[in-house]
Structure 1
Amino acid sequence: MLTADDPLPNRPRRVLVAGATGSGKTTMARRIGAALELPVTEMDALHHGPAWTPRPEFMADVEAFSSTDAWVSEWQYPDARGLLADRADTMVWLDLPTPVTMTRVARRTVRRRLRDEELWNGNKEAPLHTVFTDPEHILRWAWRTRHLLRDLVPEVEVTHPGLVIVRLRHRSDVDRFVSGLSAGVA
């Protein structure tokens, strides 16, 4: 497993960004896409249909974009993870401290709710008071799943030995990694 300071063996062409809710997966995917001039596909936009229902076309859409030769996307949704790991050449793991990710997800949730932001296919964040009543509220979900990748990523490292995995543990690692991409890699 590489760090932000390790050189990449090749120029990434099919990149996954893994991380807990609130780690900045989507933002990082966009930054990587811009640095490497690769198209970015947002998984939440493919997955969520109206009323937060899964879109029936989700896996077909994942199959379509991941079969191309260049892309960046988040590594999420259990049904898609295996296919994406099979097709990726690089995974960037945002393994940031829990206080950072929880603060981010809380701020983002409050901001989206107060601004009444539409997310995907007409969906909006649940009312803030439902954090106390809904076990699936995004804040409770983020807390419950915050350590999920600590088992999944090492498992992928074993099952996909050709996949380059870069583990970023701090915000400064994220910036150094992206700066390195912008400066050019092999």
Structure 2
Amino acid sequence: MDRIAIIGCGGSGKSTVARKLARILDVPLVHLDAIYYDEHWTPLPRDEFAAQQERLVSGERWIIEGNYASSLPIRLAAADTVIFLDLPAAACLWGIVQRRWRYRGGQHQANGVYDRITWNFVRYILGYRHTMRPRVRSLLRDHGPHVQLITLTSRRHANRFLDRV
């Protein structure tokens, strides 16, 4: 595992798994939210965001954490491993509640955590398995047949995976 893309629903634990895995493997970690948004929550233009990712994936070793399905093919083309955190909506909602409590809202660029909870975000989480998961699976099939896919379906499953690494 040298080039790892970590994907999954908001609140699934992508940032936590990424930080722990980066520490274990001594691999540089990039949180896509930290690239996509500035301190005022202004998103980077799509072409600039894609160009940034093209530069990132040219590295020898990396962990890139974040969804952004529109640019996922860039990461899939270069990755050797994809970790898909496929947790139920209730677990993801609990994850964002815990994050809100831990970070008290706002942006935390130092560790890649962005705690911005809106009703649209909650609806996204509730509908992720119905709308986004099929899209992610399709992108994996079309752009990542060469990757080792590791699907983690619970926080316990994720912790056991990290213990084995």
TM-score (norm. length: structure 1): 0.74
**1:87-166 equivalences in 2 (<5 Å):** 87-112=78-103, 115=104, 117-120=106-109, 131=118, 135-136=119-120, 138-159=121-142, 160-166=144-150
How far off is 1:39 after superposition? 0.4
How far apart, CA to CA, are the structure 1 residues paired with 2:99 and 2:115?
Answer: 10
- Cα RMSD of the aligned pairs, angstroms, is 2.5
SS in structure 2 at match of 1:52: coil
Show the counterpart of 1:9.
none
How far apart, CA to CA, are the structure 2 residues paired with 1:69 and 1:125?
Answer: 30
2:3 is equivalent to residue 14 of structure 1 = yes
How far apart, CA to CA, are the structure 1 residues paired with 2:105 and 2:7?
Answer: 27
Structure 1: unaligned runs, 5 residues or longer: 1-11, 182-186
Show the counterpart of 2:164.
180
How far apart, CA to CA, are the structure 1 residues paired with 2:146 and 2:162?
Answer: 22
Change in CA separation of 1:101 and 1:14 when aligned onto 2, cut-off 3 Å:
same
1:36 counterpart (14, 25, 44) = 25
How far off is 1:107 after superposition? 3.0
**1:26-65 equivalences in 2 (<5 Å):** 26-56=15-45, 57-65=48-56
How far off is 1:125 after superposition? 5.2
Percent identity over the alignment is: 28
Structure 2: unaligned runs, 5 residues or longer: none
2:152 counterpart (168, 180, 185) = 168
Q: Deviations over 1:125-177 (max 9, x none)?
A: 56x8xx5xxx53x3333324354442134323422221110111122211121
TM-score (norm. length: structure 2): 0.82
- Once the two structures are overlaid, the 10-residue window that deviates more, 73-82 or 145-154, is 145-154
Q: Deviations over 1:15-36 (max 9, x none)?
A: 0111111001011111111111
Report which of the two has the higher share of strand.
2
Q: Deviations over 1:89-134 (max 9, x none)?
A: 100111112211111113323554xx3544359xx856x8xx5xxx
